[in-house]
Amino acid sequence: MTAEEKQFVNEVLAALKEYGVRSKEREKVKFQIVEHIQESHEHGTDALEELGGAEGFVKDYVEINEIDVHSRIKKTHLTKKESGRSILPALLASAAAYFMSQILFSLFLTEAFNPLKLNDFEYNLLYRISGNSWWNSLLVLVSLGISVLAGVLIQTMNKRKMGA
């Protein structure tokens, strides 16, 4: 491929990305353009002349695939505004996972809630659920790991659901 042809492909892909065309679809378009260019080279014709300009090609692609340009533009503006709100569920899930794991660890892996032992509950679920410092540190680190994992999972699910 010549430099002009590579530039044409890059311009088309950049324009399709601006219109919100998914990466799989852009890869298909790239493959088809490269295949057309190779066939044009084999037949001795000018591929860029046949395809027209990058803007015209993208315009035709948008029309053929019935992509609503105005709704895509509105959607990108909305997603930029809502990006701050999209992290809130992940933070809430992370906090809930931390507290749930701390409660479960204190119930099943420590002596804090042991009914056979007559000690008062003098622990804090946020950071001290055990009397042993090494065991407490281990449980807190595991709880933090679980909460980070839960937050990341929720965030990736939200991004996939939003189509970003």
Domain residue spans of the chain = 3-78, 83-162
Residue type at position 64: I
Determine whether 76 is exposed, middle or buried from the number of CB atoms within 10 Å of its CB (0-12, 13-18, 19+): middle
Distance CA 39, CA 128 (A): 69
39-84 per-position pLDDT tens digit: 888 887 877 777 777 777 777 777 777 666 665 554 555 555 555 6
The pTM assigned to this predicted structure is: 0.48
Secondary structure element (H or E) that encloses residue 164, with its range: none
Nearest CA-CA partner of 35 in 51, 14, 22: 51
- Looking at the DSSP bridge assignments, the partners of residue 124 are 128
Walking along the chain (164 residues) 10 residues at a time, the average pLDDT comes out as 80 81 83 82 77 76 69 53 72 93 84 68 67 84 95 89 66
Determine whether 82 is exposed, middle or buried from the number of CB atoms within 10 Å of its CB (0-12, 13-18, 19+): exposed
DSSP helix/strand/coil, 124: strand
Distance CA 151, CA 137 (A): 21
